[in-house]
Amino acid sequence: SQQGEEDPQALSIQEGENATMNCSYKTSINNLQWYRQNSGRGLVHLILIRSNEREKHSGRLRVTLDTSKKSSSLLITASRAADTASYFCATDGSNDYKLSFGAGTTVTVRA
Amino acid sequence: DGGITQSPKYLFRKEGQNVTLSCEQNLNHDAMYWYRQDPGQGLRLIYYSQIVNDFQKGDIAEGYSVSREKKESFPLTVTSAQKNPTAFYLCASSIRTGGGLQPQHFGDGTRLSIL
């Protein structure tokens, strides 16, 4: 079963704008990860946030985690055409053996 | 250059046929994973292996089989028992540590279709 659920399913923005997507999950976690997938390619790891962290930055990416609400958000600032991709959150639930992925948010950045 | 190589990129299966998807990594990772991705959906775990000669079923293992005879290799066989095999198959690997799963490195996938 899918532990993480992203929202919205799709997002279309103008180049230079910010993109925000959210992830909700159901059970307690050790950490939450965000991945990017370009069309027809494998996933690329973007950022990992641990359950005792509230915010993390990596370049133009900002991730927040609210364990009380069981939710996370990914913000991409100053978007570029190259940011066009699907973005997935993944959680490890209550074990160390497998990640559960959501269905993803498809982001289109218009030039 | 370290990474994960999946082959072939495209594969066609005839009815009643078993096909094997290759996954090789040179990242020295202990853990390897196979996922299935259907259009517009997330990844579903088929099998995973934490160490050589050991593997576990994931959420959708029926109709699939794997082996892990070498650390670098984790081939997936899609058997004739898998009635709906058309999908994008992704292999991944990661290091093993406690305190939560580590980032996974993915190959570029194999797209399997039925002839």
User: Each residue of B38-66: pLDDT tens digit?
Assistant: 988 889 999 999 999 999 999 999 999 99
List CB contacts (< 8 A) between B58 and chain A: 98
Dump the DSSP string for B66-104: E--SBTTB--EEE-TT-S---EEEEEEEE---SSSPPPP
pLDDT, one tens digit per residue, over B66-84 is 999 999 999 999 999 898 9
Angle at B62 between CA B96 and CA B44, to 5 degrees: 50
List CB contacts (< 8 A) between B42 and chain A: 2, 4, 88, 101-104
The rounded distance, in Å, linking the Cα atoms of B64 and A29 is: 28
List CB contacts (< 8 A) between A30 and chain B: 99-101
The rounded distance, in Å, linking the Cα atoms of A25 and A32 is: 10
**CB-CB contact of B86 with B12 (8 Å):** no
Residue from A99, A100, A101, A106 whose CB has the most chain B CBs within 10 Å, to mutate: A99
The rounded distance, in Å, linking the Cα atoms of A81 and B15 is: 41
**CB-CB contact of A73 with A21 (8 Å):** yes
